[in-house]
């Protein structure tokens, strides 16, 4: 049965920039009503204006790492939208620091934002989806959550954790009409590396060369939309190098890690 986007209400976190912004614009173009969330209300309003039929979309700003704010945001979405068909957990922060130079506090911050905040919001939304008898939960993991590289130890661990949690959720709720999808982005042209945490918790503040040469956020959003509408559950959206690394990893992880050790990954 073909999904009609005009009938869908899609809640997207991290919607104020980057791939969250691109996903919001892409799904709005298809006719869906978008709930745009992030911390910066002005940026969210600017993204809303880019969305087709902008008046029907809803901005709900909040800090996803704050439990009380997450609960209040959920209540606000329920009041304003009435239902949530899809939840796209896109909010997150990356890392650019070696493990031995990263404090435990920073690793906990990465895990809180990239794992616990996502599972918390999903738990708030799931009872309504189950009551509806249908819904889709989408977790934005990362290639770094499948292949460990330098400078991303805590980030990769958090993204691997959300990947495994989503797999378990899919197994548990498959017979209750709940679909669960994992997205694994490679290098995408966004501010992710600029905002990435360094070992002491400060932002890196610069753009990685690999990120700068990655896929555009617009191209990423189109691929994701096509994959989700087909019902795909494991969605890799990346360049040729990342996809090649995935293939090598399936055949021979030791061979891949020899290549990673020799590379200048940052």
Q: Is 15:36 a contact under the CB 8 Å cutoff? A: yes
d(C-alpha 209, C-alpha 101), whole Å: 22
Q: Which residue is catalytic, options 74, 151, 155, 257?
A: 155
φ/ψ of residue 191, rounded to 5 = -90, 15
Q: Is 228:127 a contact under the CB 8 Å cutoff? A: no
Active site residue 155: yes
| CB-based burial label for 127 (10 Å; 0-12, 13-18, 19+) | exposed
d(C-alpha 20, C-alpha 22), whole Å: 5
- CA-derived radius of gyration, the chain: 18
Just list the catalytic residues.
155
């Amino acid at each position: 049965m073909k999904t009609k986007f005009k009938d869908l209400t899609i809640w997207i976190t991290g919607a104020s920039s980057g791939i969250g912004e691109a996903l919001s614009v892409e799904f709005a173009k298809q006719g869906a009503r978008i709930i745009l969330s992030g911390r910066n209300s002005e940026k969210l309003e600017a993204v809303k204006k880019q969305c087709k039929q902008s008046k029907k979309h809803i901005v709900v700003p909040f800090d996803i790492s704050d439990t009380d704010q997450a609960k209040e945001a959920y209540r606000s979405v329920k009041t304003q939208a009435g239902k949530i068909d899809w939840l796209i957990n896109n909010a997150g922060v990356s890392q650019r620091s070696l493990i031995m130079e990263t404090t435990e506090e920073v690793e906990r911050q990465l895990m809180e934002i990239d794992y616990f905040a996502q599972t918390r919001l999903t738990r708030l939304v799931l009872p309504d989806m189950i009551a509806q008898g249908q819904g889709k939960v989408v977790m934005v993991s990362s290639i770094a959550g499948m292949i460990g590289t330098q400078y991303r130890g805590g980030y990769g661990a958090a993204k691997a954790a959300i990947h495994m949690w989503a797999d378990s959720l899919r197994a548990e709720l498959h017979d209750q009409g709940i679909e669960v999808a994992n997205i694994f982005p490679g290098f995408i042209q966004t501010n992710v590396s600029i905002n990435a945490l360094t070992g002491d918790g400060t932002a890196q503040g610069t753009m990685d060369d690999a990120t700068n040469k990655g896929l555009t956020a617009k191209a990423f959003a189109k691929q994701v939309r096509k994959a989700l509408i087909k019902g795909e559950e494991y969605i890799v959206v990346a360049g040729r190098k990342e996809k090649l690394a995935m293939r090598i990893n399936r055949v021979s992880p030791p061979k891949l890690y020899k290549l990673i050790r020799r590379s200048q990954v940052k």
